């Protein structure tokens, strides 16, 4: 073999180093679907990419609708942002698990003989890190797939958090609107009591009503005023709870809703709603992704019986002698640990499957409960708004006329008024409860 010049030797060594760099540092497995998942992460993260102090917060209308409040919360809520960054963190695990765990190791060995040395005594070596073997591609592929399934599960939980945030915002707004509606009802009752007091005082002066009736009417009026003041004192707390979901200051202005929204109609049958929950619920989908990831984890645990390898190549600077060393790492003494890892992966898989089955049953139970509440609320609203409330209004009007003509007692009039305001309170509470159940059902079925 002829002796190489130094330039040839350098080229040879550089080529060897470059080959190992490509082999060891460029070997990253990207499973199918990773790019699509990254695109989904990028789209969802647009409101959260800029640092919080540099973000341009969208303007909230002066008198926002419930859906405008939801849209605002989806861009500003910090809990939702946390879910997004957990999703982003999970997708970045994919290339980590799909990349060779070893590094390129370069070494130089200079032999010294009788105090003398020279280029012919120098040896350069390149190989993988001796502390970490080269993992075979099937292991990397399965590990990357498992990480991707976990990232997909986190993405679905981010989607779940979006729907849950929507339900929370709507529920808080309904509570705010309900309190405002109850205040308006009590204010109407107060006006009625003021009118009643005027009538009682007039009848007392005419001698057709006792002083006790005047005292009772005055007490009823004062108690109504106290009820209004007590409910008005709760408005700042309700506004603060809603502002917290919007990531705003507790005292940020938020107009009092003028009325409760009209009830939404559920056009699907109960069976169709249950089917939607099974097909579209983000939590069930996330658990299914986790099960797929744990199946990959089980396959990866079984592959630990497959040996890993190490490679090392060396040459002297004169290019006379080269060598290539290959080593196989056989897990001969680790069989108990590998068996335990396989059993652990099987246990984790079965636990995830049990959780999915139980979550499916729990979800179905929640859907049935919400549907039962909604259907019963529809029945009661129809009865009260079409039949009972009109009767109560008519009864109060007749009792007032009877009292003014002396054919009914003051107690009869007060009882009729109390019954009317009680029915109206019940109706608005029923409407708010129904609306919150519809919002929760929307979150469950991802509508």
Say if residue 33's pLDDT is above 70: yes
Average pLDDT over residues 146-174: 96
Q: In this predicted model, what pLDDT tens digit does every residue of 64-76 receive, in sequence order? A: 999 999 999 999 9
Across the beta sheet with 122-128, the strand order is 104-110, 122-128, 308-316, 322-329
| 373's tokens | 């509440």
Dihedral sign for Cα 126, 129, 130, 132, please.
Answer: negative
Contacts of 4 (CB under 8 A, 6+ apart): 12, 318, 319, 320
- pLDDT computed for residue 24 by the predictor: 52
How far is residue 245 from each of residues 59, 249, 442, measured CA to CA in Å? 16, 10, 18
Say which CATH architecture domain 6-109+123-445 belongs to.
Answer: Up-down Bundle (1.20)
Residue 337 CA, chain-centre distance (Å), reads: 37
Instruction: Kindly write down the DSSP assignment for every residue of 181-235, as one continuous string.
Output: HHHHHHHHHHHHHHHHHHHHHHHHHHTSS-HHHHHHHHHHHHHHHHHHHHHHHHH
Instruction: Kindly write down the DSSP assignment for every residue of 367-404, as one continuous string.
Output: HHHHHHHHHHHHHHHHHIIIIIHHHHHHHHHHHHHHHH
Say if residue 2's pLDDT is above 50: no
Residue in the block written with tokens 């969208």 = 58
Phi, psi of 100, deg, nearest 5 = -55, 130
DSSP-H helix ranges across 303-334: none
Share of the chain above pLDDT 90, in %: 57
Phi-psi region at 446: left, alpha or beta (left = phi > 0; alpha = psi -120 to 50): left
Cα–Cα dist 171/443, whole Å: 12
**How many beta carbons lie within 10 A of that of residue 354, not counting itself?**
10
| 137's tokens | 């591609």
Dihedral sign for Cα 12, 13, 15, 20, please.
Answer: positive
Instruction: Kindly write down the DSSP assignment for every residue of 50-95, as one continuous string.
Output: S-GGG--PPPPPSS--HHHHHHHHHHH-HHHHHHHHHHHHHHTHHH
Q: In which band, very low, low, confident or very high, does the pLDDT at 8 lie, cut at 50, 70 and 90? A: low
Q: Considering only CA atoms, which of 199, 119, 149, 114 is closest in space to residue 37?
A: 149
Average pLDDT over residues 127-148: 89
Residue 81 exposure: Cα atoms within 13 Å on the Cβ side? 17
Say if residue 305's pLDDT is above 50: yes
Share of the chain above pLDDT 70, in %: 92
Q: Which has the minimum average pLDDT: 86-90, 146-150, 205-209?
A: 205-209
What is the enclosing helix (H) or strand (E) of 141? helix 137-206
Say if residue 48's pLDDT is above 90: yes
- pLDDT computed for residue 193 by the predictor: 86
Q: Which has the minimum average pLDDT: 125-134, 166-175, 336-345?
A: 125-134
What length is written for the chain?
447
Cα–Cα dist 377/436, whole Å: 12
Q: In this predicted model, what pLDDT tens digit does every residue of 225-271 receive, in sequence order? A: 999 999 999 999 999 999 999 999 999 999 999 888 887 778 888 99
Average pLDDT over residues 433-444: 93
Say if residue 326's pLDDT is above 60: yes
- pLDDT computed for residue 414 by the predictor: 79
Q: Name the more confident of 407 and 285.
A: 285
Q: In this predicted model, what pLDDT tens digit does every residue of 77-92 receive, in sequence order? A: 999 999 999 999 999 9
Average pLDDT over residues 127-153: 90
Helices 137-206 and 66-76 cross at an angle (nearest 10°) of 140
Phi, psi of 334, deg, nearest 5 = -110, 15
Phi-psi region at 126: left, alpha or beta (left = phi > 0; alpha = psi -120 to 50): beta
Q: In which band, very low, low, confident or very high, does the pLDDT at 444 lie, cut at 50, 70 and 90? A: very high
Q: In which band, very low, low, confident or very high, does the pLDDT at 6 lie, cut at 50, 70 and 90? A: low
């Amino acid at each position: 073999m002829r002796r190489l010049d130094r330039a040839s030797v350098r080229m040879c060594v550089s080529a060897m180093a470059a080959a190992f760099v490509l082999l060891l540092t460029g070997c990253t497995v990207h499973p199918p679907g990773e790019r699509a998942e990254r695109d989904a992460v990028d789209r969802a993260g647009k409101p959260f990419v800029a640092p919080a102090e540099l973000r341009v917060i969208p303007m909230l209308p002066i008198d926002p609708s419930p859906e405008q409040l939801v849209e605002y919360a989806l861009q500003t809520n910090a809990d939702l942002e946390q879910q997004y960054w957990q999703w982003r963190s999970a997708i970045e695990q994919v290339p980590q698990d799909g990349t060779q765990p070893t590094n390129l190791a370069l070494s130089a060995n200079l032999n010294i003989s009788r105090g003398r040395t020279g280029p012919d005594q120098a040896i350069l070596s390149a190989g993988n890190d001796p502390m970490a073997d080269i993992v075979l591609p099937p292991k990397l592929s399965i590990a990357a797939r498992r990480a991707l399934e976990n990232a997909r599960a986190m993405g679905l939980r981010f989607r779940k958090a979006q729907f849950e945030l929507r339900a929370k915002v709507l529920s808080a707004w309904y509570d705010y609107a309900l309190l405002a509606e109850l205040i308006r009802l009590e204010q109407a009752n107060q006006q009625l009591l003021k009118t009643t007091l005027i009538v009682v005082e007039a009848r007392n002066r005419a001698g057709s009503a006792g002083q006790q009736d005047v005292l009772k009417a005055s007490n009823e009026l004062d108690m109504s005023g106290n009820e209004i003041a007590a409910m008005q004192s709760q408005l700042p707390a309700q506004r603060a709870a809603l502002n917290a979901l919007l990531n705003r200051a507790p005292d940020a202005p938020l107009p009092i809703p003028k009325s409760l929204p009209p009830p939404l109609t559920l056009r699907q049958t109960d069976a169709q709603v249950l089917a939607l929950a099974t097909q579209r619920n983000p939590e069930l989908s996330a658990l299914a992704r986790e099960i797929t990831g744990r199946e990959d984890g089980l396959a990866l645990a079984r592959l630990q019986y497959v040996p890993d390898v190490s490679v090392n190549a060396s040459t002297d600077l004169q290019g006379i002698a080269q060598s290539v060393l290959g080593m196989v790492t056989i897990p001969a003494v680790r069989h108990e640990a590998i068996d335990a890892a396989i059993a652990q992966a099987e246990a984790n898989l079965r636990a995830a499957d049990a959780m999915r089955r139980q979550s499916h049953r729990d979800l179905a139970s929640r859907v049935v409960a919400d549907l039962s509440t909604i259907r019963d609320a529809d029945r009661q609203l129809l009865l009260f708004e079409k039949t009972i409330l009109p009767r109560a209004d008519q009864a109060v009007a007749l009792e007032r006329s009877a009292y003014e003509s002396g054919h009914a007692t003051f107690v009869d009039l007060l009882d009729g008024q109390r019954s009317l305001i009680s029915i109206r309170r019940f109706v608005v509470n029923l409407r708010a409860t129904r609306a919150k159940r519809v919002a929760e059902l929307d979150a469950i079925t991802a509508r």
